[in-house]
Copies of this chain bind each other. A is one copy, B any other.
Amino acid sequence: MTQRFDRTALFTLARDLLTGAGLEKAKADIVAELLIQTDEIGVTTHGISMVPYYVPELKAGNMTTTGSHDVIADNKVTMLWDGNYLPGHWVMTQALETCMARAAEFGMAAMAIRRSHHIGCLSALTRIAAMRGYVCYIATSDPSGEWVAPFGGTEPLLTPNPWAVGYPATDHPVLIDTCASITTVSKVREHINTGVPFAHEWMLDNTGHATTDPTVFNTTPKGSILPVGGMDHGHKGFAMGLMVEMLTQALAAHGRVEAPTRWGANVFLQVLDPKAFGGLDAFKAQTDHLNAACRANTPIDAARPVRVPGDRAASARAASASKGVVVVDEVLTRVAACATDAGLTMPTPLS
């Protein structure tokens, strides 16, 4: 079951919950706006759903409520920032604006960021740059997390290591948003909570056997999530994961060496300007052509035509604009509890 809500009402609720937990208003405006934009593109796991997680982090001082990032290095084209555990949506908004301005000047720009707090839905961020004609790559890891074993190993060591790339096409941006493991920590927790095994063997138990059982996460020693490719060709997902940790931690000169123990995000962000290569029109001509060829590809199942990453986000966004923003029941329950705690009234669902 889901309900739809007015986007302004949801934004106001999210913003007020965040400011109520101590976040300064200018930052709460940005975080709330991006969370609602995330819900609008249909990524309900990373939208207003995050507020009940952020509120206790703000109250405990684990998510910084005020101040700014530190610039550790700035070579114009390359930068290194310390996020000081500020809200990731705020840090990434500053980082994106900086990198887009630099890319407009130099053709491209990249930034490593250490010690941001959670940066939310990567597609909601890459989409901002793609809508403005840029190619935008974001990778993130949490050096305090160990959930994925190296291929051939049994002990969790890496995070799922999400990465995303957004880029322009004529109809709407292509939004690739994936990670180096088959599934994610939040999906594993969801399956543990609901008692439902995975449909496929996406987990690895602590003896190195693939399993559908999410509860191997809770054994001692701990099991792990399999890398992309699983038992069959998981060396490919492992390689992807190593690349993300290198970009986000080695370039940031902060990572597993420092063994941080709090929830944090290391980030690598890069923005490229197609105008500085072969031009934006030529760029779109290629992406439009390939996207059309993908969508026209004869599907395995006639009821499920081939989708290009970003197609579902565009549909969800159109539906959000015309009918209101979807909040799924599980999220609604948690957000409502959070609102009650804060003495705030939940908005009324549309229709």
Contact = CB atoms under 8 A, between A and B. Distances in A.
Interface of A: 72-73, 75-80, 106-108, 110, 112, 135, 149-155, 157, 165, 167, 174, 176, 178, 182, 200, 208, 228-230, 232-233, 235-237, 239-240, 242-243, 245-247, 249-257, 272-274, 276-279, 282-287, 289-290, 293-294, 297-301, 304-309
This chain's copy number in the assembly: 2
Contact of A272 (B78, B154, B239): B78
A106 B135 contact: no
Given A112-B277, A157-B293, A233-B182, A253 B150 contact: no
A257 B112 contact: no
Contacts of A287: 246, 250
A349 B182 CA distance: 46
B277 A253 contact: yes
Nearest to A287: B250
B256 A290 contact: yes
B176 A239 contact: yes
Nearest to A279: B253
Contacts of A72: 278
A233 B243 contact: no
Contact of A153 (B77, B276, B286, B298): B298
A250 B153 contact: no
A113 B274 CA distance: 14
Given A76-B106, A150-B306, A208-B300, 16 more contacts: A135-B247, A149-B297, A150-B308, A152-B307, A154-B299, A157-B294, A178-B236, A178-B240, A228-B237, A246-B286, A250-B278, A250-B284, A252-B277, A253-B286, A255-B286, A257-B289
Contacts of A257: 285-286, 289
A32 to B, nearest CB: 29
A75 B107 contact: yes
A245 B288 CA distance: 12
A276 B75 contact: yes
A297 B155 contact: yes
Contacts of A154: 297-300
A277 B307 contact: no
Contact of A157 (B178, B297, B307, B309): B297
Contacts of A284: 250
